Amino acid sequence: MKLEGRTLRTFAATLLTLGVFTACGDDDPPSGNNSVDPPSGLTVTATSATTTRVTFTAVSGASSYIVQRASGAGAFATVGTPAGTTFDDVGLDPNTQYRYQVATVEGSRTSAFTAPVTVTTSASGRFAATLSAPITASRTLFADSVYTIQGYVRIASGATLTIQPGTRILGDFNTPGSSLFVTRGAKIVAIGTAANPIVFTSSQPVGSRKPGDWGGLVIVGNARINRNSAGTSIFTEGPTTARQDYANGTDDNDNSGTLRYVRIEFAGYAETTNEELNSLSMYAVGRGTTIEYVQTMAGLDDSFEWFGGTVDGRYLVSYESGDDHFDWTEGYRGRNQFLIAFQSQQIPQRAGAGSLSTDPNGFEGDGCENTRPFCTTFAGSVPFSNPVFANFTVVGFGSAFTTSSGGYGAVIRRGAGVTLINGILARWPRTAINIRDLATDTLRQRDSVTIRNVLLVENGANFDAPGGSNVFGQQANFASNNIVEASGTAASLFVSLTPPGLDWTPSAASAARTGGLATFTGSVAARVSGLFGGTSGIVGTSYVGAVDPAGPKWYEGWTVYVIN
Amino acid sequence: MKNRSIAATALLLGAMAAFFTLSPEVSAAQVPTGRIVGRVIDRQSGQGIADVGVQVVGTTAGVMSGVDGRYSITGIPAGTVSMHIRRIGYQPKTITALMLPANGSIEQDVALDVASVQLQTLEVTASAERGTVNEALDRQRTATGIVSSVTAEQIARSPDSDAASAIQRVSGVTVQDGRYVFVRGLGERYTNTSLNGARVPSPEPERKVVPLDLFPASLLQTVTTSKTFTPDQSGDFSGAQVDIQTREFPARRTLSYSMSMGYNDAASGSQILSAPSAGSEWIGFGGEARKLPSLVRQYGNFNSNISQLEYNRLVRSFRNSWTADAASGRPNYSTGVSIGGEDRIFKHPVGYIGSLSYSYGQEVRENEERAQAVGGVNGTTQSFNAFRGSTGRTSILWGGLLNLSTWIGRNSKISLNNTYNRTADNEARQDSGFYDLGNFDIERTMLRYVERTVLSNQLRGDHVLGTRHTVDWAVNYAGVTRVEPDRSNLTYGFIPDVQTNQPVRQLLTAPEANRRTFGDLDEHSISPSLNYKLAIGPETRQTYLKVGALYRDAKRDVDTRSFSIIPQNLTEAELAQPAEDLFDRYSTDDSDVFRVEPYLTTGSYRARERLSAGYFMADHPLTDRIRAIAGARVEHDRLEVTTLNKSGTEFLSGLNDTDVLPSIALNLSVTDAQNLRLSASQTLSRPEYRELSPLLYQDAIGDEFVFGDTSLKRALIQNYDIRWEWYPKAGEVLSVALFAKRFSQPIERVFVASSGGTQISFVNADGAENYGVELELRKGLGAFTERLTPFTFFANGTIMQSDIRPGNEGIVATTRDNRPMVGQSPFVVNAGLAYTSTSGKANAVVLYNVSGKRIFAAGVGELPDSYEQERHALDVSVSLPVWRTIAAKIDLKNLLDYPYEISQGQVTRERYTAGRVFSAGLSWRP
C-alpha cells in the first residue's frame, strides 16, 4: 500500500514538473491537498563520500517538510522531516547515485512531491590509508581519506588519535577481528557532527556486510573496577597478542577522549568462542571521557558494554544487536541519559565470526561475575556496579525469534546495583524486569537497585512471577514505583516503530508523554549530579522514554536503520 | 561386541597353534645330548662379561662368552654335568649339579667376582648360583646412579596389568588417573619415558606425558626409574627417567598362553552408559568411521560465506549419533600369547620373542560429581554449576612385540626390537545440574572415543672390540598417534516456558551446547645414537671412559577442530525432540534452521624438534671402594612451533638453546653389602610445544582456555642426592635417600584473569625447591621365625616438600605465592607382604598404596588451592599351580574402592568411585 502511494506520488510529481498539469489534480491520493505547494528550488549537493545536503526554498505556512531518498532507481523512503529548509542526509555510500524529493507539510495537509533531483556522492575519500601498526604518536585521520584498520591496532599510551567529522574507518574483513584499541593513557577524539558523523564499519561492499565482519572499538581507561586483583593483570577480550590489562585503575576522573556523532557498524568478531568483541567496549573508562551521540548497529555481541569505570554517556542508540544492548559489570558507575535500543531480528553473522547470543537482553547488569577471578564473593566486590540509566526506550524482539534464555528487558544479577528511571521497556518476550538472585535483591532492599517510573508494554511478563526460578523481581517489590503497563501496542506509543523510518517521538496520545519523574530527590538526585564532570546532572522529565515529545529528535540525521 | 572378543581370542589361539605346529621341531639326535645357554656377569656391576671361557667338565664342549656375556654350548651329553668358568681378573667358578635333560636345554647364568690375584676355584651348585645371579641383576644395587626397578617377576606376581600400575610400586612414584606418572612430587613435565632406551613421544596434544597404561604388563621385562642424572641420559630430566624394557628372549623355546576373566562390581551385570560404536572398535580401529567429514574439511575455518543449503549439507555430513546407549555391563577379559627361544638360522643363533596381548575392560564411575567453586561468604567457597552423573567406559588394549637378535662372530650382537601398542577408549558420560548462565537445569551428554598407538622400532648393535673397547649404536624410530574422532557434546536445558514458567526439556542452542570435535595427533621421530666405552687400567680397578652422541629429529602434527551445530528459530516443542530426530528433520535441503560454526579453531599446530647431544663421562675408582663418576653432556635443541589462528595467520615460536649439563657422583662401597651414593647434577626442562604458542585454545581435556608464551625459556634444575643402601641378603634391602632440587625459572601453569573469566597460561616462575626423604625396606620374615620363611615384607615411602614462587612479572600469575608445586603429595607409601611357597610355584601378594593429598590446581584470587584427596588402595593377587604347566591367578583390585576426590575449600570439585575388580585367569606353558 505504502509503496503504491509513493509510486503514485512520484508519478504525479514527475508529471507536474513536466508541466503537463497546469493545476494540481485531486488524484494525489494520500493526504495531499492541492492548496499546499511543494517547495521549489530543490538542490542536493554531495558534501562528502557519505553525506549530502538537501536545500530548498521555504513555502510559507509550512510546518515541516518531508525529505525522501531513493538509491539509484530504487523506491523512495522518508529520511527526514526537517522544519527548516536544509537537511543533511548521512550514512550514504560513496560514489553512489541517489535521488531526492521533498514535499511540504502544513498542519495535517501534505503537498505533492517535487520532481526528483539526482546526486552522486563523492568517491570515498580521495585517499586510502591503512592502519596496521600501533599508533604511538598523536595523529589525525582526515575526512578526505578512507582508513582501513588491519589487525588489532592500538593507540599507545600518550598518543591521541583525532578523527575529523565525516571520516570513514573500515574494519578489514580480510584480517578477521580487526579492531581499534584505545589503550590506557591514550585518547581518541572522534568528534563528528550530526551532518557528518564518523563511521566505523565493515570493509565489505554495501549489501554484503554482516555482524562480525570486524572486531570493534575498545577503550581502556584508568578508572577503578571492582575486581580487586592488587597488582595482577586482568585482560580485555581480544587475542592474547593484542589485548590490554585493564585492572588496578586509580583515577575515576580519567579521560580517554571524546566520541561524539559516531556510528559503529557490523562489529563483534570473536577470536575465540565466547570472546566476541563488543561494538563499543569500555574497560575502566573514567568520567573525564565524553561519550555522546553514538550509534551501534548490527554488532555480533553487545552493543555497549562497560567493564567497571565511571564514564557517563548520553544519546546512545543501539540498533539490532547480536547480544545485549547495554551491558555492565565489574563496578561500572557511570550515568547515562537518553538511550534507544531496538531489536527486531537476528541478523545472520559473518560465517566463522562467532555465534549469536542465546540470551539477548535489553539491559544486562552484573555486580561481578562470580566465576571470574578477583570477584569477591557474590556481592562483595566494591565499588559496586551502580550505573544510572534515565530516559531509555528499549524495544525488544517480541515473538520475532526465540532464544533459549534471555529475552528480558532488564536483568540485574550477581550483586549489581542500578538506577533505571523514566524509561520504556517494550516487547521483551520473557520478563521486563528480572532481579536474578538474592545478592542483587539484597541491594534492592538497600535501595541500590532503584527502578521507577518505567512504562511497560507488550512484554511476556512485566515482573518475575512468584514460584518460578526467578522470584526476586516480583511486582510487590516495586509497588509504589510508578512502573505501569501501557494499554495497546508498543507501536502505538511512538510516531513510528518501523525501520527505516523509526521515530521515537511519543505519538499524540502516547502514555509515554507522561509518567516521568520530573524532580529527583534523595539518593537518586545524589546519583545523577555532575554529568560529564560538570555541575548539571541528569534532569528529571515529565515524560518517559528517550525522546521529549516536544523535541528535539536528537537521533535524526546521524543514525541509520538500514542493514546493508 | 562379545562375539568379537571371542573371535579375537580364537584368532590368537589359531595363530599360536599354527606357529607351534609349523615351527621346526628339534629333531631327536641319536646320542641324547642337550644344550646349556646363559650369561656370565660381573657380580659387582651386573654387566655381562665377554671373553669368559665356559667349559663342560669332562668333555671337549666349551665356548667363549660373547657380547653381554652370553654363551651357548650344544652337543653336551645329557645327564648331570658340571661347568667350569674362568677369565683373567675374576675368581674361577665351577658349577655343579646341572641337570641336563636329553634333547633339552637349560639356562644357567653365572656371576663372577673380581679378583686381583689368581684364587682357588669356587665350587657352587647350580641352584645356589641362581641366588648370586639374582643379586647381581638387581639393578638398583649395581646401577651407577639411583634407580628403582620393577621386574617381570614382580609384575607377574602382582595384579598389575600394565606399566602404569606396575610402576606405582616404586618409591616416590604416584600415578595419576591410572596413567600418568609423578615422581618425587614433580609433575609429568619432569618425567621422561623411554622404551628400550629410546624416547617415547607424548601422545597427548597439550601435555608432555606418556600414559603408561599403553604398555601391557605381559610385554615388560623391567620398568626402571632412574632418579639421578648421568651424562649418558637425556638432559631434560629431573624427576625421573622411566625406561621400559621389553621382554628378553628366553634361552630355550617357550610358549605361553594366558587368559583371564574379571568382574567389576560396579560395571559387570549392571546397566552402564556406552557410546554407540562405529567401525572395528573391538580392535581399536573405530577412527575411520568417525573421520571428519570431507565436506566439513572443505570449508576450512569457515571464513567464507556459507549458504543455508550448505549449512544443511554440513549438518547432514556429521554422523547423527548424540545419545548414549545403556547396555548391560560385561566381564573384563584378557588374553595373551607369547613365544620365544633361540634357534640357529643359517648357522647363526637367533634369539626371538614374539608376544601378543589383548584385553577388554569396562569401568563405571557412578555418582560422579563435578562442580566449580566460587567465593562464598567470609572466605568460604560455594559450589557453582554443580553436576551429578555417571560415566561408562570401555577400554581395549592390545599390543605385540617382536624382538630378534643374532650374533656376528662372538663379539657383535645385532638386535631388532619392535613394539606396537594400541588402546581405544569408548566413553559415554551423562550428567545434569543447575547452569548458572542460563538460570535453569541442564543435562549434558558426552560421547567420546580415543585411540592411541605407540610404535617403536629399534635396530641396535653391541660390539666388543678387544678387551677394552665397547661400542653400541642404535637407530630408533618412534611414532605415536592419538585420534579422538568425532566426540559429541549434547546439551538439553530445562527451560521455563515463557507463558507457564514451567520447565520444558529442550535442546540448548548455545554455541557450546551441541558440538562435534575431531582431534588428530601424530608424532614421529628418528634418532640415531652411538656410544663408545673404553676400559683402562688394571682389570681389577678399571676406569671407564664413555663418550657418545645422539641426534633426534621429531615432527609433530596436531589437528583439532570443533564445530558447534546451532539450531535457530525452533519452537520449544520442536527443540524438545530427541536429538537424532531433530538433527535429521531440520537439516533437509529446504530447512532454514541450522548453522555450523567452528568452535575450536586454534587447536592445530605443527612442531619440529631437533636435538643434538654429546657427552663424555668417566667412571674412575678412586680407591678400591670409591668410584667417582663425572662428566658432562652438551645438548643443542632447536624447536619450532607453528600455530595457526582462526583466520589462518601463522604464528611461529620456538627455542634454540645450547646447554652444558655437568654431573658428578661418588659411589662408596662402605662394605660389600653397603653402598653410599652421592650425586649432584644440572638438568633442564623445556617448555612443551604448545606452551610456546600465543594463541588461545581450549584444552580439549579440561575445557579450559589456555594460551602460551613465546618468550618462555627452558628451566634449569640442580639436583642433589644422597643414598645409603644396605643389602643384608639376596633380595633384601634397606635404604635411605635424601634429595633436594633447586629450580631456576621452572615452568609453571598459572591462571590469568580476563574479562571473560579465567584462562590458563605458562610462566617461568621465579624459582622453586623440592626436597624429601625416601625409605625403602625389603625383608624376608624367615629371620624372625622359621615358619615365616615364605613371607617377605616390603615397603617404601617418600616424604617430601616443595615450594614454588610464581613471581609477579610478565603474564601475571594470580595463584598463591610460596605454595607446594602442583601435583606434589607430602607423602607416598607403598607396602606389601609377599608369600612364595618353598617350591616357588605358588605365591601371593598383598599390596597397599597411599599418597597424601596434593594440589590438583592452584587457586585463583581468593579461592583456595584445589586438592586431590588422599587415596588408599589395596590389591591382592594369588597365583597357584593347577595341573602340570597350567597355573591359575586370582587378582582382587581396588578392594577399598576409595573415592577419587578433588575438593576446593568446602566444594567437591570432582568425585567418583570406580568399583572393585575381581579377576581370575589361567596361564599355560606347554
**What is the per-residue pLDDT for B20?**
40
Listed by number, the residues of chain B in 352-381 with a beta carbon closer than 8 Å to a beta carbon of chain A are: 372, 374-377
Q: Are residues A190 and A53 in the same domain?
A: no
Residue contact A272–B646, C-beta within 8 A: yes
Listed by number, the residues of chain A in 308-347 with a beta carbon closer than 8 Å to a beta carbon of chain B are: 330, 346
CATH number at A99 reads 2.60.40.10
Quick one: closest CA in A to B574, which residue? A402
The average pLDDT across B658-671 equals 92
CA distance A280 to chain B (A): 14
Residue A59, CB half-sphere, CA atoms under 13 Å: how many? 26
Kindly provide the ipTM of the predicted complex, given to two decimals: 0.77
Instruction: State the amino acid at position B601 in one-letter form.
Output: T
CA angle centred on A460, ends A459 and A463, rounded to 5°: 80
Establish, for the pair of chains A and B, how many residue pairs have beta carbons separated by less than 8 Å: 180
Domain for residue A552, yes or no?
Answer: no
Residue contact B753–A460, C-beta within 8 A: no
The model's pLDDT over B466-490, given as tens digits with 9 standing for 90+, comes to 778 989 999 999 999 999 888 899 9
Quick one: closest CA in B to A376, which residue? B375
- Per DSSP, helices labelled H in A125-213 are none
Q: Are residues A79 and A144 in the same domain?
A: no
Q: What are the sequence ranges of the domains in chain B?
A: 31-137
H/E stretch holding B153: helix B152-157
CB contact at 8 A, B641 and B690 = yes
- Name which residue leads in pLDDT, B25 or B879: B879
Residue of B85, B111, B68, B37 lying closest to B411 (CA atoms): B68
Q: Are residues A75 and A223 in the same domain?
A: no
Indicate the CATH number for domain B31-137.
2.60.40.4130
- B570/A contact by beta carbon, under 8 A: yes
Domain for residue A547, yes or no?
Answer: no
- B32/A contact by beta carbon, under 8 A: no
CA distance B292 to chain A (A): 18
The model's pLDDT over B864-878, given as tens digits with 9 standing for 90+, comes to 888 889 989 898 888
Residue contact A460–B754, C-beta within 8 A: no
CA angle centred on B301, ends B295 and B306, rounded to 5°: 65
Highest mean predicted confidence (pLDDT) among A69-83, A382-396, B103-117, B119-133: A382-396
Q: Cell triple for residue A104?
A: 511540504
Residue contact B696–A271, C-beta within 8 A: yes
- B501: region left, alpha or beta (phi > 0 left; psi from -120 to 50 alpha): left
Domain for residue A266, yes or no?
Answer: yes
What residues of chain A lie within 8 A of the CB of B694, using their CB?
239-241
Mutation pick from A272, A414, A436 vs chain B, by most beta carbons of B within 10 Å, is A272
The average pLDDT across A431-449 equals 89
The average pLDDT across B264-268 equals 74
Q: Are residues A38 and A166 in the same domain?
A: no
Q: What are phi and psi of A385, to 5 degrees?
A: -65, 125
Sheet holding A234-235, edge to edge: A234-235, B747-754, B757-764, B705-706, B697-698
Q: Are residues A493 and A381 in the same domain?
A: yes
**Percentage of chain B modeled with pLDDT above 90:** 19
Q: How far apart are CA A118 and CA B590, in angstroms?
A: 42
In B308-465, where do the E strands start and end?
A: 325-328, 332-345, 348-375, 381-408, 412-435, 440-465
Q: Is B287 helix (H, G, I), strand (E, B) or coil?
A: coil
What residues of chain B lie within 8 A of the CB of A376, using their CB?
375, 862
Option in A231, A240, A374 nearest B695 (CB): A240
Residue contact B564–A355, C-beta within 8 A: yes
Residue of B267, B224, B262 lying closest to B243 (CA atoms): B224
Q: Are residues A91 and A239 in the same domain?
A: no
Specify the DSSP class assigned to residue A547.
Answer: S
Q: Are residues A156 and A262 in the same domain?
A: yes
- B860/A contact by beta carbon, under 8 A: yes
Quick one: closest CA in A to B809, which residue? A232
- B921/A contact by beta carbon, under 8 A: no
Option in A356, A377, A465 nearest B501 (CB): A465
Rg of chain A on CA atoms, in Å: 24
Q: Cell triple for residue A364?
A: 544486562
The model's pLDDT over A78-109, given as tens digits with 9 standing for 90+, comes to 888 888 898 988 878 877 889 999 999 998 88
Quick one: closest CA in A to B706, which residue? A240
Residue contact A352–B597, C-beta within 8 A: yes
Option in A307, A355, A372 nearest B566 (CB): A355
In this model, does residue B13 exceed pLDDT 50? Answer: no
- A351/B contact by beta carbon, under 8 A: yes
**Percentage of chain B modeled with pLDDT above 70:** 88
Specify the DSSP class assigned to residue B288.
Answer: G
Quick one: closest CA in A to B602, which residue? A272
Cβ contacts of B270 within 8 Å, gap of 6 or more: B328, B329, B364
Residue contact B645–A233, C-beta within 8 A: no
**What is the per-residue pLDDT for B119?**
60
Cβ contacts of B316 within 8 Å, gap of 6 or more: B587
Residue of A121, A114, A110, A108 lying closest to A17 (CA atoms): A114
Mutation pick from A208, A236, A376, A377 vs chain B, by most beta carbons of B within 10 Å, is A377
Q: Are residues A456 and A528 in the same domain?
A: yes
Listed by number, the residues of chain B in 419-448 with a beta carbon closer than 8 Å to a beta carbon of chain A are: 436-440
Q: A462-471 as b/e, with b when 16 or more CB fall inside 10 Å?
A: bbbbeebebb
Stretch among A93-97, B118-122, B239-243, B444-448 having the lowest mean pLDDT: B118-122
Contacts 24+ apart (CB under 8 A), B575-579: B575/A404, B575/B506, B575/B507, B575/B509, B576/B504, B576/B505, B576/B506, B576/B507, B577/B507, B578/B323, B579/B322, B579/B323, B579/B490, B579/B507, B579/B514
In B686-756, where do the E strands start and end?
A: 697-698, 705-706, 715-726, 733-744, 747-754
Listed by number, the residues of chain A in 450-479 with a beta carbon closer than 8 Å to a beta carbon of chain B are: 460, 465, 467-470
SS (H, E, C) B43-104: CCCCCECCCCEEEECCCCCEEECCHHHEEEEEEEECEEEEEEEECCCECCEEEEEEEECCCC
Q: Are residues A111 and A143 in the same domain?
A: no
In this model, does residue A14 exceed pLDDT 80? Answer: no
Mean pLDDT for all residues in chain B? 82
Instruction: State the amino acid at position B483 in one-letter form.
Output: V
Range of the domain at A103: 2-120
Mutation pick from B755, B760, B865, B906 vs chain A, by most beta carbons of A within 10 Å, is B755
CA distance A351 to chain B (A): 6
**What is the per-residue pLDDT for B298?**
85
- B707/A contact by beta carbon, under 8 A: yes
Specify the DSSP class assigned to residue B126.
Answer: H
Quick one: closest CA in A to B651, which residue? A241
Highest mean predicted confidence (pLDDT) among A386-390, B343-347, B517-521: A386-390
Q: Are residues A70 and A149 in the same domain?
A: no
Quick one: closest CA in B to A381, which residue? B375
What residues of chain B lie within 8 A of the CB of A239, using their CB?
645, 694-696
Q: Is B769 helix (H, G, I), strand (E, B) or coil?
A: strand
Burial of B87 (0-12, 13-18, 19+ CB in 10 A): buried
The average pLDDT across B263-274 equals 76
Residue B78 β-bridge partners:
none
Q: How far apart are CA B185 and CA B169, in angstroms?
A: 15
Q: Cell triple for residue A450?
A: 532503584
CB contact at 8 A, B794 and B169 = no
Q: Are residues A170 and A68 in the same domain?
A: no
What residues of chain B lie within 8 A of the CB of A234, using their CB?
753-755
Neighbours of B418 (CB within 10 A): 17
Quick one: closest CA in B to A464, which residue? B501
Mutation pick from A232, A234, A285 vs chain B, by most beta carbons of B within 10 Å, is A232
**What is the per-residue pLDDT for A302?**
94
**What is the per-residue pLDDT for B562?**
85
Stretch among B97-111, B141-155, B652-666 having the lowest mean pLDDT: B141-155
Q: A237-271 as b/e, with b when 16 or more CB fall inside 10 Å?
A: bbbbebbbbbbbbeebebbbbbbbbbbbbbbbbbb
Domain for residue A164, yes or no?
Answer: yes
Neighbours of A23 (CB within 10 A): 7
What residues of chain B lie within 8 A of the CB of A466, using their CB?
none
In this model, does residue B819 exceed pLDDT 90? Answer: no
Please say which residue of A120, A137, A168 terminates a domain: A120
Please say which residue of A96, A120, A144 terminates a domain: A120
CB contact at 8 A, B837 and B791 = no
Residue contact B696–A275, C-beta within 8 A: yes
Listed by number, the residues of chain A in 354-373 with a beta carbon closer than 8 Å to a beta carbon of chain B are: 354-356, 358-359, 369-373
CA distance B699 to chain A (A): 13
Domain for residue A495, yes or no?
Answer: yes
Domain count, chain A: 2
Q: How confident is the model at residue A389 (pLDDT cuts 50, 70, 90)?
A: very high
CB contact at 8 A, A170 and A201 = yes
Option in B439, B511, B568 nearest A469 (CB): B439
Residue contact B377–A377, C-beta within 8 A: yes
What residues of chain A lie within 8 A of the CB of B756, using their CB?
237, 274-275, 372
The model's pLDDT over A311-332, given as tens digits with 9 standing for 90+, comes to 999 999 999 999 999 999 999 9
- A318: region left, alpha or beta (phi > 0 left; psi from -120 to 50 alpha): beta
Q: Cell triple for residue A288?
A: 573525564
Q: Are residues A401 and A425 in the same domain?
A: yes
Domain for residue A61, yes or no?
Answer: yes
Q: How far apart are CA A10 and CA A33, in angstroms?
A: 15
In this model, does residue A506 exceed pLDDT 80? Answer: yes
Please say which residue of A77, A100, A120 terminates a domain: A120
Q: How far apart are CA B294 and CA A206, in angstroms?
A: 33
Specify the DSSP class assigned to residue B120.
Answer: P
CA distance A231 to chain B (A): 8
The model's pLDDT over B121-136, given as tens digits with 9 standing for 90+, comes to 777 777 666 666 666 5
Q: How far apart are CA A372 and CA A357, in angstroms?
A: 20
Residue of A434, A491, A493, A439 lying closest to A460 (CA atoms): A434
Cβ contacts of B73 within 8 Å, gap of 6 or more: B35, B36, B37, B54, B56, B61, B62, B63
Option in B646, B753, B863 nearest A271 (CB): B646
Instruction: State the amino acid at position B34 in one-letter form.
Output: G
Mean pLDDT for all residues in chain A? 87
Option in B510, B646, B811 nearest A176 (CB): B646
In this model, does residue A24 exceed pLDDT 80? Answer: no
Residue of B647, B392, B313, B45 lying closest to A171 (CA atoms): B647
In this model, does residue A5 exceed pLDDT 60? Answer: no
Q: How far apart are CA A319 and CA A449, in angstroms?
A: 26
Specify the DSSP class assigned to residue A27.
Answer: T
Domain for residue A261, yes or no?
Answer: yes
In this model, does residue A304 exceed pLDDT 70? Answer: yes
Q: How confident is the model at residue B343 (pLDDT cuts 50, 70, 90)?
A: confident
Residue of A124, A333, A162, A183 lying closest to A259 (CA atoms): A162
Residue contact B696–A239, C-beta within 8 A: yes
Neighbours of A552 (CB within 10 A): 9
Domain for residue A564, yes or no?
Answer: no
